[in-house]
Chain A
Amino acid sequence: MTEDWRAGGFGVYLHWPFCQAKCPYCDFNSHVAASIDQSRWQRAYLAEIDRVGSETKGRILDTVFFGGGTPSLMQPDLVAAILERIRATWATSNSFEVTLEANPTSVEADRFQGYRDAGVNRVSIGIQALNDLDLRALGRMHSVAEARSAFALAQKVFDRVSFDLIYARQNQSLTDWRAELREAVSMAADHLSLYQLTIEDGTAFGDRFARGRLPGLPVEDSAADMYFATQEICEAAGLPGYEISNHARPGAESRHNLIYWNCGDYLGIGPGAHGRLTSGGQRYATDTPRQPGAWLQQVETTGTGEVAREQIGAPDQLVELLMMGLRLRDGVSLARAQGRCEKDRLLLKINELHKIGMLDTSQNRLRATERGRAVLNAVLTELYDAIT
Chain B
Amino acid sequence: MTELKNIRNFSIVAHIDHGKSTLADRLIQLTGTVAERDMKAQMLDSMDIERERGITIKANSVRIEYPARDGETYILNLIDTPGHVDFGYEVSRSMRAVEGSLLVVDATQGVEAQTLANVYQAIDADHEIVPVLNKIDLPAAEVDQVKAQIEDVIGIDASQAIEISAKTGIGIPDVLEAIVHRLPAPKGDSAAPLKAMLVDSWYDAYLGVVVLIRVMDGVIRKGDRIKMMKTGAVYGVDKLAVLKPQMVDIKELGPGEIGIFTGSIKQVRDTRVGDTITHEKKPTANALPGFKPAQPVVFCGLFPVDAAEFEDLRDAIEKLALNDASFSYEMETSAALGFGFRCGFLGLLHLEVIRDRLEREYDIDLITTAPSVIYKIHMRDGSEIELHNPADMPDLTHVDHIEEPRIKATILVPDEFLGDVLKLCQDRRGIQLDLTYAGSRAMVVYDLPLNEVVFDFYDRLKSVTKGYASFDYQLIGYREDVLVKMSILVNEEPVDALSMMVHRDRAEARGRMMCEKLKDLIPRHMFKIPIQAAIGGRVIARETIAAMRKDVTAKCYGGDVTRKKKLLEKQKKGKKKMREFGKVAIPQEAFINALKMDS
Contact = CB atoms under 8 A, between A and B. Distances in A.
Contact of B555 (A13, A245, A356): A245
Interface in A247-261: 257, 260
Nearest to A352: B583
A272 B551 contact: no
Contacts of A19: none
Contact of A319 (B525, B527, B550, B568): B568
Given A375-B526, A375-B549, A378-B525, A266 B558 contact: yes
Given A375-B526, A378-B526, A384-B572, A274 B559 contact: yes
Contacts of A274: 558-559, 561-562
B206 interface: no
Contacts of B556: 244, 260, 323-324, 327
B549 A220 contact: yes
B557 A381 contact: no
Interface string A65-87: 00000000000000000000000
Given A319-B568, A375-B552, A379-B526, A13 B558 contact: yes
Contacts of B526: 353, 356, 358, 375, 378-379
By Cβ-Cβ distance, the 4 closest A-B pairs, closest first, are: A224-B549, A224-B550, A376-B552, A195-B554
13 contacts: A197-B554, A198-B554, A220-B549, A220-B551, A224-B549, A268-B559, A276-B558, A320-B565, A358-B526, A375-B549, A375-B551, A378-B551, A385-B575
B157 to A, nearest CB: 56
Contact of B561 (A320, A373, A377, A384): A320
Nearest to A385: B572
B564 interface: yes
A195 B565 CA distance: 20
Interface in B166-192: none
B575 A374 contact: no
A185 interface: no
Given A327-B556, A381-B572, A374 B561 contact: no
A24 B499 CA distance: 49
Contacts of A319: 565, 568
Nearest to B556: A327
Contact of A377 (B527, B552, B558): B552
Interface string B539-558: 00000000011111111111
Contacts of B553: 198, 244, 377
A296 to B, nearest CB: 19
Contact of B552 (A260, A316, A373): A373
B247 to A, nearest CB: 46
Interface of B: 524-527, 548-559, 561-562, 564-565, 568-569, 571-572, 575
Nearest to B559: A274
A195 B528 CA distance: 27
Contact of A198 (B524, B550, B555): B555
Interface in A359-374: 373-374
A198 B555 CA distance: 9
Nearest to A198: B554
A305 interface: no
A273 B550 contact: no
Contacts of A13: 558
With a 10 A CB-CB cut-off, give which of B552, B553, B554, B571 has the most chain A CB atoms.
B552
B561 A323 contact: yes
Contacts of B551: 220, 374-378
Contacts of A257: 557
Contacts, number: 98
Give the secondary structure class of B's interface.
loop
Contacts of B557: 257, 260
Nearest to A166: B554
A260 B555 CA distance: 12
Given A323-B564, A327-B556, 14 more contacts: A195-B555, A221-B549, A227-B550, A244-B552, A257-B557, A275-B558, A320-B565, A323-B556, A327-B552, A353-B526, A373-B552, A374-B549, A380-B568, A384-B572
A217 B565 CA distance: 27
Nearest to A310: B562
Given A245-B555, A273-B559, A276-B558, A381 B568 contact: yes
Contacts of A375: 526, 548-552
A380 B570 CA distance: 12
B575 A356 contact: no
A90 to B, nearest CB: 18
Contacts of A195: 554-555
Nearest to A196: B554
A278 to B, nearest CB: 15
A72 B558 CA distance: 20
Interface string A163-205: 0000000000000000000000000000000011110000000
A275 B559 CA distance: 8
Contacts of A377: 551-553, 571
A268 B550 CA distance: 31
A365 B552 CA distance: 21
Given A374-B550, A375-B548, A323 B555 contact: no
A358 B527 CA distance: 10
Contacts of A273: 559
Interface string A1-36: 000000000000100000000000000010000000
Contacts of B554: 195-198, 244-245
Contacts of A275: 558
Contact of A220 (B550, B555, B558, B569): B550
Nearest to A244: B552
Interface string A204-229: 00000000000000001101100100
B554 to A, nearest CB: 4
Interface string A224-236: 1001000000000
Contacts of B524: 220
Contacts of B562: 274, 285, 287
Contacts of A272: 559
A196 to B, nearest CB: 4
Most chain B Cβ neighbours within 10 Å, of A198, A287, A380: A380
A276 B558 CA distance: 8
Contacts of A266: 558
A388 interface: yes
Nearest to A254: B557
Contacts of B525: 378
Contacts of B568: 319, 323, 380-381, 384
A223 B550 contact: yes
Nearest to A372: B526
A260 B568 CA distance: 18
